[in-house]
């Protein structure tokens, strides 16, 4: 496969990626674009830290600072963390359950392109009159008063990319329910598959409230509705509820897959089956369930009253129980294991204390009475960066090193990987540990500048230095990616040598049909079972036969492009109405053309039969894959 | 499996919508999608209840001033009946009786169109008689958004049925299009269920609550 790809021209490869419905290529698309947005969000973070390095700094203006902090949060959550998780879900989950593809390959591609165009639309705001500036939560009382089109970019961009996320969530749910290989029962699924399953269920039920919230905001800002306008009978708290009914499950959508990655890494490099597997599954499901019961802990100071605050405080603290179960299971998996400290394992080991620190401050914040003190201070900033970076980002970096050989067929350099790890870990704690104290000393969150000689100078400087360590770590990682791709040392099925699950039973990268014959799964950690019985590969569950494959399609790209175009029309028709038809007379036609492109391509998809094609048995027999792991 | 294989009523499988893997995936995926849609409408209902009768001045019409049960009753009957006719259509689909399925789906579409006609009349009536518009108050925004979202779903459902009927007009039933008809009818039932809640929460509670 790869030799054929290298001979083709750049345009042919580009066309292949624009039309692909293969989950492994879509994973690469998610990884590249998620990685790009991660760098963009990272640069925004660096600018924030430079501004706050010294007191009374004039590095950026107050308005630009608001835009930076808003876009940093929005980009990192919606356009970096989630797509990067989707990259690994796409690359690994179908392989882990022994499937040839996801349930809806076409929708998989559509989900990616919607996310991509939504993200591009959101970031174009930088060049078209100013980015959103009301924080990533975009509270209505503030965002309705924001001049310009920044908030409109936020609303429309997130609406488009949110649709893509919802589609991806449904796709993974159906894939995991319907496409498991023979013998792969629910209680034999690897933890990463389980956590993807629960996170997808959270996406399914958490994203519609965001969709509704964004629609209300869109109607208020662009079509004269009055949902949040108190003078017209509106109520601005509705936005806060809808946003956090989405927003709290969202953090579990991020952290659960990271938990799954760590569970697989820890059991692989401890050479032990995961301790308390059933309890781990139960804890994952319970966290997912409780995640919907706690949204109002973001609103303790809104004034919901002591009863509501007490209920949500207790529910929030309850989440610490299943999370604690997970922490102890990870520790006990390592206990007595024969541990290899590879780069992914280093991240996993560092993750446990880092995340526990974030969890402890989480329980502190959950105490409603105490929260009145912490609210809107740097203590909160420190808390959520401890769980998001200490949990999600460490998980993503671990997953990058762990799954890189499976996705690209070559290993990342281990020495450089460990340098990245240490730089990042030191930088992360250096940046955020000290922010707990800044918060307790009274430094408010989202503040543009602080005055000298209030005891904040030194700690802010230390925090900024830490951020530079993290930036350096990312640069080393990028260097690592480039040089290992140039050297391109090919690896076999199981490059880590201790793979336990199905993805390590097939070549790296896998052939486009994944499994020549579907594997027979005989228990948890199916490949490990076969290895323990002296076999090198899985026993097939079926004779060699024709494989049905989906056709590539350009329609998902066009469908998403239509919405991208329509969004510009929807946004600028406000100016057209204000300026009485002068400069923005094109806005309504653009809106209509964009919607016609989208609806038209949906109709084409519906009207044109697409039966896919078959790979014949004879071709499969000719297709020799290089077996043999590291030998 | 050959997707275009011809079937007779005798060889037609018992659950044609779930016989192929594609059909099975579509069936489950669509049920999950409806789960998400339920949360979407739940959010809209919550917003409506929070903003019901919230108007900026005393001269604005409230729910009890505007709604008339006879009109809404007719609309409810039309939509409920259309759900029943789509059940008949699916019954004939399962028995591989293509023409009867087409007939019943066509009746469903006409009933849906009649419902839409009444809804347009209703909105028009509120705007002109009571100056109750999308932008006149928070109540107006919430009312037209909730009921309008449902109306938009009806439009999509009608477009979907029509497209399926036109596309498959001459080729009969096979295992490729049977799941498509089935999911469209699931969608139609969902729209009906949402309307039952709108009838209760918006109109009945609007008159008495």
Segment A281-324, tens digit of pLDDT: 999 999 999 999 999 999 999 999 999 999 999 999 999 999 99
Whether residue B111 is contained in a domain is answered as yes
Closest residue to B33, CB basis, from A170, A220, A233: A170
Contacts of B139 in chain A (CB under 8 A): 233
DSSP string, A196-252: HHHHHHHHHHHHHHHHHHHHHHHHHHHH---SS-GGGT--THHHHHHHHHHHHHHHH
Residue B9 to chain A, least CA–CA distance (Å):
23
CA A182 to chain centre: 30
Return the residue of B nearest to A221 by Cα.
B135
Which residue out of A217, A230, A232 would a mutagenesis test of the B interface target, given it has the greatest number of B Cβ atoms within 10 Å?
Answer: A232
Residue B5 at interface with chain A, using a CB cutoff of 8 Å: no
Residue B138 to chain A, least CA–CA distance (Å):
5
Count of structural domains within chain B: 1
DSSP structure class, residue A391: I
> Which H, E and C letters describe chain B, residue by residue?
CCCCCCCCCCCCCCCHHHCCHHHHHHHHHHHHHHHHHHHHHHHHHHHHHHHCCCCCCCCCCCHHHHCCHHHHHHHHHHHHHHHHHHHHHHHHHHCCCHHHHHHHHHHHHHHHHHHHHHHHHHHHHHHHHHCCCCCCCHHHHHHHHHHHHHHHHHHHHHHHHHHHHHHCCCCCCCCCCHHHHHHHHHHHHHHHHHHHHHHHHHHHHHHHC
CA atoms of A571 and A152, how far apart (whole Å): 6
Residues across chain A: 631
Among A402, A390, A399, A316, which residue's Cα sits nearest to residue A353?
Answer: A390
Write out the residue range of the structural domain in which residue A561 sits. Answer: 556-609
Residue A537 at interface with chain B, using a CB cutoff of 8 Å: no
CA atoms of A127 and A124, how far apart (whole Å): 6
Q: What share of chain A is helix, strand, coil (3-state, %, to 5)?
A: 70, 0, 30
Whether residue A293 is contained in a domain is answered as yes
Whether residue A496 is contained in a domain is answered as no
Residue A234 to chain B, least CA–CA distance (Å):
5
Residue B118 to chain A, least CA–CA distance (Å):
24
Q: What are phi and psi of A558, to 5 degrees?
A: -65, -40
Residue B124 at interface with chain A, using a CB cutoff of 8 Å: no
Residues 6+ apart with CB under 8 A from A425: A350, A354
Whether A456 and A574 map to the same domain: the answer is: no
Residue B140 at interface with chain A, using a CB cutoff of 8 Å: yes
Whether A487 and A596 map to the same domain: the answer is: no
Contacts of B43 in chain A (CB under 8 A): 208-209, 212-213, 242, 245
A626: exposed, middle or buried (Cβ count in 10 Å: 0-12, 13-18, 19+): exposed
CA atoms of A143 and A217, how far apart (whole Å): 9
Would you say A291 and A248 are in contact if contact means Cβ atoms under 8 Å apart? Answer: yes
Whether A163 and A222 map to the same domain: the answer is: yes
Which residue out of A94, A225, A236, A602 would a mutagenesis test of the B interface target, given it has the greatest number of B Cβ atoms within 10 Å?
Answer: A225
Whether A600 and A526 map to the same domain: the answer is: no
Whether residue A587 is contained in a domain is answered as yes
Q: Which helix (H) or strand (E) holds A549?
A: strand A547-549
Would you say A93 and A176 are in contact if contact means Cβ atoms under 8 Å apart? Answer: yes
Whether residue A356 is contained in a domain is answered as yes
Name the β-bridge partners of A363.
Answer: none
Contact A209 B43 (CB under 8 A): yes
Residue B27 at interface with chain A, using a CB cutoff of 8 Å: no
CA A583 to chain centre: 39
Among A262, A285, A258, A284, which residue's Cα sits nearest to residue A274?
Answer: A262
Residue B170 at interface with chain A, using a CB cutoff of 8 Å: no
CA atoms of A549 and A134, how far apart (whole Å): 46
Closest residue to A225, CB basis, from B24, B46, B141: B141
Contact B135 A166 (CB under 8 A): no
Whether A565 and A582 map to the same domain: the answer is: yes
> What pLDDT shows up at residue A216?
97
Contacts of A223 in chain B (CB under 8 A): 134-135
Contacts of A179 in chain B (CB under 8 A): 25
Among A398, A425, A416, A389, which residue's Cα sits nearest to residue A481?
Answer: A416
Residues 6+ apart with CB under 8 A from A393: A81
Whether A512 and A587 map to the same domain: the answer is: no
Contact B28 A224 (CB under 8 A): no
B207: exposed, middle or buried (Cβ count in 10 Å: 0-12, 13-18, 19+): middle
> What pLDDT shows up at residue B3?
65
Closest residue to B29, CB basis, from A170, A208, A227: A170
Whether residue B160 is contained in a domain is answered as yes
Contact A177 B28 (CB under 8 A): yes
> What pLDDT shows up at residue A6?
53
Contact A242 B137 (CB under 8 A): no
Whether A586 and A618 map to the same domain: the answer is: no
- First and final CA of chain A: distance in angstroms? 21
Residue B149 to chain A, least CA–CA distance (Å):
10
* Cβ–Cβ pairs < 8 A, chains A and B: 111
Whether residue A120 is contained in a domain is answered as yes
CA B93 to chain centre: 20
Would you say A133 and A67 are in contact if contact means Cβ atoms under 8 Å apart? Answer: yes
Whether residue B118 is contained in a domain is answered as yes
Write out the residue range of the structural domain in which residue B47 sits. Answer: 17-53+61-208
Residue B44 at interface with chain A, using a CB cutoff of 8 Å: yes
CA atoms of A506 and A339, how far apart (whole Å): 24
Residue A304 at interface with chain B, using a CB cutoff of 8 Å: no
Contact B39 A205 (CB under 8 A): yes
Contacts of A207 in chain B (CB under 8 A): 36
Helix (H, G, I), strand (E, B), or coil: what is residue A147? coil
Contact B163 A603 (CB under 8 A): yes
> What pLDDT shows up at residue B172?
86
Whether residue B3 is contained in a domain is answered as no
Whether residue A181 is contained in a domain is answered as no
CATH assignment of the domain containing A125: 1.20.210.10
Can you say whether residue A608 is alpha, beta or left, with left for phi > 0 and alpha for psi between -120 and 50 degrees? beta
Q: Which helix (H) or strand (E) holds A614?
A: strand A613-615
Contact B51 A235 (CB under 8 A): yes
Whether residue A579 is contained in a domain is answered as yes
Would you say B56 and A225 are in contact if contact means Cβ atoms under 8 Å apart? Answer: no
CA atoms of A358 and A97, how far apart (whole Å): 32
What is chain B's pLDDT, residue by residue, as a tens digit (209 residues)? Answer: 566 678 888 889 988 888 899 999 999 999 999 999 999 999 999 999 999 999 998 899 999 999 999 999 999 999 999 999 999 999 999 999 999 999 999 999 999 999 999 999 999 999 999 999 999 999 999 999 999 999 999 999 999 999 999 999 888 888 989 999 999 999 999 999 999 999 999 999 998 86
Return the residue of B nearest to A174 by Cα.
B29
Q: Consecutive sets of 10 residues in chain A, 631 residues long: mean pLDDT of each?
A: 59 94 97 97 97 96 96 97 97 96 96 97 95 95 92 97 97 97 96 97 97 96 94 96 97 97 97 96 96 95 94 95 97 96 97 96 95 95 97 97 96 97 98 96 94 94 97 97 95 94 95 94 95 92 92 96 96 82 83 96 90 88 54 31
Whether A596 and A542 map to the same domain: the answer is: no
Which residue out of A163, A224, A233 would a mutagenesis test of the B interface target, given it has the greatest number of B Cβ atoms within 10 Å?
Answer: A233
- Interior/surface letters A417-435, b for 16+ CB within 10 angstroms, e for the rest: bbbbbebbbebbbbbbbbb
Whether A589 and A481 map to the same domain: the answer is: no
Among A49, A68, A47, A57, which residue's Cα sits nearest to residue A462?
Answer: A49
Whether A228 and A242 map to the same domain: the answer is: yes
Contacts of B25 in chain A (CB under 8 A): 103-104, 174, 178-179
Closest residue to B28, CB basis, from A178, A207, A245: A178
Contact A216 B137 (CB under 8 A): no
Residue A596 at interface with chain B, using a CB cutoff of 8 Å: no
Cα angle at A326 between A321 and A330, to 5 degrees?
150
Contact B43 A213 (CB under 8 A): yes
Closest residue to B163, CB basis, from A170, A606, A611: A606
Cα angle at B155 between B149 and B160, to 5 degrees?
125
Contact A170 B36 (CB under 8 A): yes
Whether residue A368 is contained in a domain is answered as yes
Output the six-digit token pair for A374. 């912490």
Residues 6+ apart with CB under 8 A from B42: none
Contact B43 A245 (CB under 8 A): yes
Can you say whether residue B142 is alpha, beta or left, with left for phi > 0 and alpha for psi between -120 and 50 degrees? alpha
Would you say A132 and A153 are in contact if contact means Cβ atoms under 8 Å apart? Answer: yes
DSSP string, A393-454: IHHHHHHHHHHHHHHHSBPPPHHHHHHHHHHHHHHHHHHHHHHHHHHHTTPBTT-S---TTS
Residue B167 at interface with chain A, using a CB cutoff of 8 Å: yes
DSSP structure class, residue A78: I
Cα angle at B133 between B130 and B139, to 5 degrees?
95
CA atoms of A294 and A314, how far apart (whole Å): 9
> What pLDDT shows up at residue A583?
79
Which residue out of B5, B19, B21, B51 would a mutagenesis test of the A interface target, given it has the greatest number of A Cβ atoms within 10 Å?
Answer: B51
Whether A526 and A565 map to the same domain: the answer is: no
Contacts of A609 in chain B (CB under 8 A): 3, 176
Place of tokens 């490729």: B176
CA atoms of A131 and A60, how far apart (whole Å): 14
CATH assignment of the domain containing B128: 1.20.120.80
CA atoms of B28 and A110, how far apart (whole Å): 19
Helices B21-51/A191-223 angle, 10° precision: 40
Would you say A264 and A192 are in contact if contact means Cβ atoms under 8 Å apart? Answer: yes
Q: What is the pTM of this model?
A: 0.95
CA A102 to chain centre: 18
Count of structural domains within chain A: 2
Residue B102 to chain A, least CA–CA distance (Å):
17
Whether A118 and A222 map to the same domain: the answer is: yes
CA atoms of A437 and A397, how far apart (whole Å): 27
Contacts of A212 in chain B (CB under 8 A): 40, 43-44, 47
Residues 6+ apart with CB under 8 A from A60: A47, A51, A68
CA atoms within 13 A on the CB side of A166: 24
Among A311, A103, A73, A281, which residue's Cα sits nearest to residue A193?
Answer: A281
Residue A238 at interface with chain B, using a CB cutoff of 8 Å: yes
Residue B56 at interface with chain A, using a CB cutoff of 8 Å: yes
Contacts of B54 in chain A (CB under 8 A): 233-235
Name the β-bridge partners of A444.
Answer: A377
């Amino acid at each position: 496969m790869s030799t054929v790809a290298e001979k083709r021209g750049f345009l042919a490869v580009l066309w292949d990626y624009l039309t692909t419905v293969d989950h492994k290529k879509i994973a690469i698309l998610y990884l590249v674009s998620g990685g790009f947005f991660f760098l963009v969000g990272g640069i925004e973070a660096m600018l924030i830290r430079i501004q706050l390095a010294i007191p009374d700094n004039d590095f950026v203006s107050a308005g630009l600072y608001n835009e930076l902090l808003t876009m940093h949060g929005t980009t990192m959550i919606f356009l970096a963390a989630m797509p990067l998780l989707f990259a690994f879900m796409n690359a690994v989950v179908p392989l882990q359950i022994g499937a040839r593809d996801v349930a809806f390959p076409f929708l998989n591609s559509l989900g990616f392109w919607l996310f991509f165009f939504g993200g591009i639309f959101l970031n174009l705001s930088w060049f078209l009159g100013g980015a959103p500036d009301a924080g990533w939560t975009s509270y209505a009382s503030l965002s309705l008063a924001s001049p310009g089109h920044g908030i409109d970019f936020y609303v429309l961009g997130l609406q488009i990319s949110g649709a893509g996320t919802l589609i991806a969530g449904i796709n993974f749910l159906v894939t995991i329910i319907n496409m498991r290989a023979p013998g792969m029962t629910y209680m034999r699924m690897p933890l990463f598959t389980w956590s993807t399953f629960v996170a997808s269920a959270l996406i399914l039920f958490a994203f519609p409230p965001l969709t509704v919230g964004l629609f209300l905001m869109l109607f208020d800002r662009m079509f004269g509705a009055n949902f949040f306008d108190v003078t017209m009978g509106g109520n601005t708290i509705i936005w806060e509820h809808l946003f956090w009914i989405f927003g709290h499950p969202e953090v579990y959508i991020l952290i659960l897959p990271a938990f799954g990655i760590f569970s697989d890494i820890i059991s692989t490099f401890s050479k032990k089956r995961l301790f308390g597997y059933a309890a781990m599954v139960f804890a994952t499901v319970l966290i997912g369930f409780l995640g919907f019961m706690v949204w109002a802990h973001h609103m303790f100071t809104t004034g919901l009253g002591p009863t509501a605050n007490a209920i949500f405080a207790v529910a929030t603290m309850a989440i610490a129980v299943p999370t604690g179960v997970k922490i102890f299971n990870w520790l006990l998996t390592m206990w007595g294991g024969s541990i290899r400290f590879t780069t992914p394992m280093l991240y996993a080991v560092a993750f446990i204390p880092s995340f526990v620190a974030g969890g402890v401050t989480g329980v502190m914040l959950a105490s409603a009475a105490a929260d009145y003190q912490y609210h809107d201070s740097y203590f909160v900033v420190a808390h959520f960066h401890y769980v998001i970076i200490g949990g999600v980002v460490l998980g993503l970096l671990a997953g990058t090193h762990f799954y890189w050989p499976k996705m690209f067929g070559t290993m990342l350099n281990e020495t450089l990987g460990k340098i990245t790890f240490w730089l990042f870990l030191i930088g992360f704690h250096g940046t955020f540990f000290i922010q707990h104290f800044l918060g307790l000393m009274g430094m408010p969150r989202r503040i543009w500048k602080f005055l000298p000689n209030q005891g904040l100078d030194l700690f802010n400087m230390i925090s900024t230095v830490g951020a530079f360590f993290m930036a350096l770590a990312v640069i080393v990682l990028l260097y690592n990616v480039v040089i290992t791709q140039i050297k391109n040392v090919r690896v076999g099925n199981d490059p880590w040598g201790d793979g336990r699950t199905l993805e390590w039973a097939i070549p790296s990268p896998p052939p486009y049909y994944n499994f020549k014959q579907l594997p027979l799964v005989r228990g948890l950690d199916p490949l490990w079972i076969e290895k323990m019985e002296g076999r090198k590969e899985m026993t097939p569950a079926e004779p060699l036969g024709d494989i049905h494959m989906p056709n590539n399609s350009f329609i998902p790209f066009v469908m998403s492009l239509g919405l991208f175009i329509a969004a510009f029309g929807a946004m600028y028709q406000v100016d057209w109405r204000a300026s009485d038809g002068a400069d923005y007379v094109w806005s309504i036609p653009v809106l209509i053309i964009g919607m016609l492109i989208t609806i038209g391509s949906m109709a084409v998809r519906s009207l044109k039969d697409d039966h896919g094609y078959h790979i014949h048995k004879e071709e499969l027999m000719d297709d020799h894959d290089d077996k043999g792991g590291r030998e | 499996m050959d997707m275009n294989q011809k079937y007779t009523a005798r060889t037609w499988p018992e659950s044609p919508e779930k016989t192929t893997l594609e059909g099975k995936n579509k069936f489950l995926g669509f049920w999950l999608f409806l789960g998400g849609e339920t949360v979407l409408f739940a959010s809209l209902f919550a917003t409506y209840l929070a903003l019901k009768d919230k108007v900026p001045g005393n001269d604005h019409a409230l729910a009890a001033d505007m709604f008339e049960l006879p009109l809404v009753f007719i609309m409810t009957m039309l939509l409920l009946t259309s759900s029943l006719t789509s059940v008949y259509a699916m019954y004939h689909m399962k028995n591989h009786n293509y023409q009867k399925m087409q007939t019943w789906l066509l009746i469903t579409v006409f009933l849906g169109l009649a419902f839409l006609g009444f809804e347009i009349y209703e909105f028009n009536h509120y705007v002109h008689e009571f100056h109750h518009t999308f932008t006149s108050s928070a109540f107006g925004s919430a009312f037209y958004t909730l009921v309008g979202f449902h109306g938009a779903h009806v439009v999509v459902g009608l477009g979907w049925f029509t497209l399926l009927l036109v596309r498959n007009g001459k080729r009969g039933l096979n295992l490729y299009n049977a799941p498509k008809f089935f999911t469209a009818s699931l969608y139609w039932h969902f729209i009906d269920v949402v309307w039952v809640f709108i009838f209760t929460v918006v109109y009945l509670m609007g008159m008495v609550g």
